[in-house]
């Protein structure tokens, strides 16, 4: 069976950054690995985007940005 691809964005530059980390961690824990191929895109408070490939339980921790399990996805233009 072909899996549906799902992107889960978390983090961001707003004051709700930490709430987003918790919400995304909860959402991803309820997505079926059998039906969906999940891509986790974390956005730092500076606006940098990373494809996160680490432990999904560590997504809720703001230090996810420092883990080696991420690859640059995009960098915001200078403001």
Contact 11, 17 (CB under 8 A): yes
Residue 79 is assigned to a structural domain of this protein: no
Q: In 1-79, where does DSSP find H-type helix?
A: 17-29
CA–CA separation, 6 vs 57, rounded Å?
18
pLDDT tens digits, residue range 11-68? Answer: 999 999 999 999 999 999 999 999 999 999 999 999 999 999 988 888 888 888 887 7
CATH code of the domain covering residue 15:
3.40.50.20
What is residue 79's predicted lDDT score, i.e. its pLDDT?
A: 52
Cα–Cα nearest to 58, from 50, 43, 69? 69
Residue 46 is assigned to a structural domain of this protein: yes
Domain holding 65, by residue range, is 4-74
pTM of the model: 0.83
Task: Give the number of domains in the chain.
Answer: 1
């Amino acid at each position: 069976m072909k899996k549906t691809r799902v992107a889960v964005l978390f983090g961001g530059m707003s004051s709700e950054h930490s709430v987003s980390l918790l919400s995304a961690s909860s959402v991803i824990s309820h997505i079926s690995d059998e039906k969906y191929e999940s891509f986790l895109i974390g956005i730092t408070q500076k606006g940098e985007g990373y494809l996160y490939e680490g432990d999904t339980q560590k997504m809720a921790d703001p230090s996810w940005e420092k883990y080696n399990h991420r690859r640059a996805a995009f960098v915001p233009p200078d403001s």
